[in-house]
Amino acid sequence: MKRLAIVLSGLLLAATAAHAQEVPTLPFKADIGNQASLQRGARDFMAYCSGCHSLKYLRYNRMGQDLGISDELLKKNLILGAAKVGDPIATAMPAQSVDWFGRVPPDLSLETKAKGADWVYSYLMSFYLDGTRPLGVNNPYLPGVSMPAVLGELQGWQEMEAPAKGEGGEAAPHFKLVQPGTLSPEEYRDFVGDLTNFMVYASEPTAFERLGLGWKVLAYLFLLLILTYLLKKEFWRDIH
């Protein structure tokens, strides 16, 4: 028993140590019930991200159904090139991209599941100017990042103030906006929030069905309860 306790506390310590090395993320709360936010996120993902990243587990028309976007609007505004409404969301990026960035932009279908929505939100908030990098920017959440700061025009350009390493472990990074973007800081926060919210939805489109199914199951059980009660009363009526 004692040995088990020692092993367990060892594991716990190791887990805390591993955790302490990560840069703390900004808090983000997804709300996939907010359809307007998901629609904005989808629009912005198509405009700013799908040039490089696919969402290969999500089909255009599935997204349209879930988000209340008609096939007409999908075709007109969101679908790239010659893709059909029933196709998975692909990227326009040709295969040579490996050479352009040193890394293939990964598929983002499961990104918020793999890294957490907080992490994705923080990453998109935290590109900063760094003259030592080939693209002129860096990111504390993915040091040496090879993705360009594609939202720089909107967010503006910022410098990192405090180094990511604090004295007592890691501290959350601080930024100073040195050149404002076309969006105010609040607008940019909302923009990234919608984008992250959409990616949370994209990582599990069936969540909508599950939510719907849950209520049906509860309603069914409730009905069953009433029927069972009535049946019980019926059975016992003659005996009492």
CB of 106 to ligand HEC, least distance (A): 5
User: Please, what is the minimum distance in Å from the beta carbon of residue 12 to ligand HEC?
Assistant: 27
Residue closest to ligand HEC (Cβ): 49
The C-alpha atoms of residue 199 and residue 220 are separated, in whole angstroms, by 32
Which is nearer to ligand HEC, 102 or 212 (by Cβ)?
Answer: 102
Residues in the chain: 240
In contact, 62 and 71? CB cutoff 8 Å: no
The residues of the shown chain that bind ligand HEC, judged by CB under 6 A, are 48-49, 51-53, 101, 103, 105-106, 108, 111, 115, 120, 123-124, 142, 145-148, 150-151, 195
Tell me which residue has tokens 């010659």.
82
| Cβ proximity to ligand HEC, 193 vs 205, nearer residue | 193
Q: How many CA atoms lie within 13 A of 63 on its CB side?
A: 32
- Other Cβ atoms less than 10 A from the Cβ of 92: the count is 11
Least Å distance, CB 92 to ligand HEC, is 10
What is the DSSP-derived secondary structure letter of residue 169?
S
| Dihedrals phi, psi of 128, to nearest 5 degrees | -135, 160
Judged by beta carbon, residue 71 or residue 164, the one nearer ligand HEC is 164
Residue owning tokens 């007409």: 72
Nearer to ligand HEC, 104 or 207 (CB): 104
CB of 217 vs ligand HEC, minimal distance in Å: 35
Indicate the residue among 51 and 88 with the shorter CB distance to ligand HEC: 51
